């Protein structure tokens, strides 16, 4: 009978600095636990400490470090990375013991956590020091997020984007893995193992960037083809319910999972029931506190959906006590790419998880926000009406004359404007239409040129 592999165990480590209050610190640790769960690990314990900062070589003080080492089975001290010298007698002794049958592990002995996950960005030296003191593999918050992105990427563009970010994260941390590496023989003689590894990463990054540019050119062309259409982008913190709202608004079967970063690829669908002109809805990658800058840069084309949208819907999990901080993270990332100038509306989602008192507080704090549950059809219908009203306010009415010799363009008219009436005279088909000024202007130009 086959036994399932044991779920890796991890210990969470967090430093609470003076500027972080207890609520924010607890929320950050809870979020880290969800990240670890998304990665496929089980949280076996937590070690927290209040300190002035996270710049110490071992992150934790000696007492908390000993507490962490007791959980992982480490020594609690940073020893030398070099292996101890061995006498010939010692080597013969160890060689003799190698022939002894290994002792079966006692199933009653509790497993030790093999991972230490730190809720901060660490330097390579801090990671090495913690690993030597705890005997466990150490990942910082950035490393966890990058690894989750790596596992969840599905499309070729997302895979390329994540590999770029992953290599840029790994490159400065190669020293620990390559310590003690010798010199290479043959071509490039004199080049250390570390230098060789770094050169391979540089070459691979150059190759990936070339491939990514080609893929992103295709994405840019697809977005350019949609430039005349009405576009709404759902943006916000990861797991705020964007994909559920996307499914409710468009009837599409996009992935909906209760986990962080379930969506990494941009999905574009038509608002249902369909309108004229059509409204396109985009579901974008979620944001998170301390989202690595390399990931933001790598997902340029994905985030461009927000930059080029006509309307942004900031989707927020209203049931989360830290929703305001999450909203600020989302706005900060969008400011970073220049999308803060795009018109936006705040959508407070998951209202079914908020009691009456909480709803009253939300209404008072955010009188202009849209409060809804993505699982309530009436709420979704009201949001659809709000989206349509937003575009209607900017539309104008015009009369277009479609000559009989150009009747093949009628599809373009219906695609980019709403036809209010049709009449015929000696010049051709006379159409009274309603649409955005830019779309009407382009239709006029098209009719004049052809």
User: Does the pLDDT at position 94 exceed 60?
Assistant: no
Q: Kindly give the pairing relationship between strand 115-118 and strand 137-140.
A: parallel
**Res. 319 pLDDT band, cuts 50 70 90:** very high
User: Does the pLDDT at position 145 exceed 70?
Assistant: yes
| pLDDT at residue 434 in the model | 92
Which region among 3-12, 293-302, 332-341, 380-389 has the lowest average model confidence (pLDDT)? 293-302
Which region among 83-92, 202-211, 223-232 has the lowest average model confidence (pLDDT)? 83-92
Domain boundaries, the chain: 9-77+111-148, 155-178+193-225, 227-392, 395-449
| pLDDT at residue 72 in the model | 94
| pLDDT at residue 176 in the model | 43
| pLDDT at residue 295 in the model | 72
CA distances in angstroms from 103 to 41, 95, 98, 107, 305, listed in the order given: 27, 17, 12, 12, 58
d(CA 187, CA 337): 43
Which region among 123-132, 197-206, 302-311, 324-333 has the lowest average model confidence (pLDDT)? 302-311
Per CATH, 227-392 and 395-449 having the same topology is answered no
Cα atoms in the 13 Å half-sphere on the side-chain side of 345: 22
| pLDDT at residue 129 in the model | 92
Residue pLDDT, tens place only, 324-378: 988 998 888 888 878 888 899 999 999 999 999 999 999 999 999 999 999 999 9
CA distances in angstroms from 378 to 30, 118, 140, 214, 249, listed in the order given: 32, 43, 43, 43, 11
Question: CATH top-level class for 395-449?
Answer: alpha beta
Contacts of 441 (CB under 8 A, 6+ apart): none
d(CA 46, CA 40): 17
List phi, psi (to 5°) of 425. -140, -165
Element containing residue 101 per DSSP (H, E): none
d(CA 267, CA 154): 12
More confident residue, 147 or 365: 365
Which region among 234-238, 286-290, 330-334, 392-396 has the lowest average model confidence (pLDDT)? 286-290
Contacts of 203 (CB under 8 A, 6+ apart): none
User: Does the pLDDT at position 149 exceed 90?
Assistant: no
Fold of 227-392: Rossmann fold (3.40.50)
Strand partners, 268: 282
User: Does the pLDDT at position 263 exceed 90?
Assistant: no
Other Cβ atoms within 10 Å of 11 Cβ, number: 24
Average pLDDT of the residues in 213-217: 82
Whole-structure pTM value: 0.76
Q: Which of 327, 383, 322, 375 is nearest to 352 (CA)?
A: 375
Which region among 16-20, 172-176, 245-249, 382-386 has the lowest average model confidence (pLDDT)? 172-176
| pLDDT at residue 355 in the model | 94
Which region among 94-98, 120-124, 135-139 has the lowest average model confidence (pLDDT)? 94-98
User: Does the pLDDT at position 426 exceed 50?
Assistant: yes
User: Does the pLDDT at position 177 exceed 50?
Assistant: no
Q: Which token pair is 11? A: 């210990």
d(CA 38, CA 148): 7
Peptide bond connecting 273 to the previous residue in cis, omega within 30 degrees of 0: yes
| pLDDT at residue 96 in the model | 45
Average pLDDT of the residues in 287-294: 76
List phi, psi (to 5°) of 319. -85, -10
Give me the CATH code for the 9-77+111-148 domain, please: 3.40.50.11060
Q: Quote the mean pLDDT of the chain.
A: 82
The counts of H helices and E strands in the chain are 16, 13
**Res. 175 pLDDT band, cuts 50 70 90:** low
Which region among 4-8, 241-245, 272-276, 431-435 has the lowest average model confidence (pLDDT)? 4-8
| pLDDT at residue 180 in the model | 46
């Amino acid at each position: 009978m086959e036994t399932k592999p044991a779920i890796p165990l991890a210990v969470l480590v967090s430093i609470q600095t003076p500027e972080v209050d207890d609520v924010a610190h607890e929320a950050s640790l809870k979020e880290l636990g969800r990240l670890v769960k998304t990665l496929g690990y089980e949280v076996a314990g937590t070690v927290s400490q209040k300190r002035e900062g996270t710049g110490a070589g071992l992150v934790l003080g000696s007492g908390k470090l000993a507490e962490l080492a007791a959980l992982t089975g480490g020594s609690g001290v940073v020893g030398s990375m070099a292996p101890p010298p061995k006498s010939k007698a010692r080597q013969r002794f160890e060689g003799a013991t190698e022939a002894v049958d290994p002792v079966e592990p006692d199933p009653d002995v509790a497993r030790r956590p093999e991972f230490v996950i730190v809720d901060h960005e660490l330097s390579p030296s801090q990671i090495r020091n913690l690993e030597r003191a705890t005997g466990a593999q150490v990942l910082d918050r950035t490393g966890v997020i990058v690894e989750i992105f790596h596992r969840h990427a599905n499309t070729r563009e997302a895979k390329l984007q994540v590999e770029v970010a992953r290599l840029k994260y790994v490159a400065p941390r190669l020293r620990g893995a390559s310590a003690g590496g010798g010199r290479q023989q043959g071509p490039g003689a004199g080049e250390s193992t570390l230098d060789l590894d770094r050169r391979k990463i540089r070459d691979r990054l150059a190759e990936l960037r070339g491939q990514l540019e080609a893929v992103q050119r295709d994405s840019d062309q697809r977005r350019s083809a949609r430039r005349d259409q009405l576009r709404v982008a759902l943006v916000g913190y990861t797991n705020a319910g964007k994909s559920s709202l996307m499914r409710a608004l468009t009837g599409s079967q996009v992935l909906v999972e209760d986990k962080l970063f379930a969506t990494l690829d941009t999905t574009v669908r038509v608002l249902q029931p369909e309108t004229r002109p059509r409204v396109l809805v985009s579901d974008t990658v979620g944001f998170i506190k301390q989202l690595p800058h390399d990931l933001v840069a790598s997902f340029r084309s994905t985030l461009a959906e927000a930059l080029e949208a006509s309307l942004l819907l900031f989707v927020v999990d209203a049931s989360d006590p830290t929703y305001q901080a999450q909203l600020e993270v989302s706005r900060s990332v969008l400011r970073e790419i220049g999308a803060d100038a795009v018109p936006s509306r705040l959508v407070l989602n998951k209202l079914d998880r908020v009691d009456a008192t909480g709803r009253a507080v939300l209404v008072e704090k955010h009188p202009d926000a849209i409060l809804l549950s993505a699982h309530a059809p009436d709420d979704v219908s009201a949001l659809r009406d709000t989206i349509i009203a937003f575009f209607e306010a900017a539309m104008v009415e015009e009369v277009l004359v479609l000559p009989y010799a150009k009747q093949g363009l009628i599809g373009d008219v219906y695609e980019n404007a709403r036809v209010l009436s049709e009449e015929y005279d000696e010049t051709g088909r006379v159409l009274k239409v309603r649409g955005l000024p830019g779309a009407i202007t382009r239709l006029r130009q098209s009719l004049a040129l052809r």
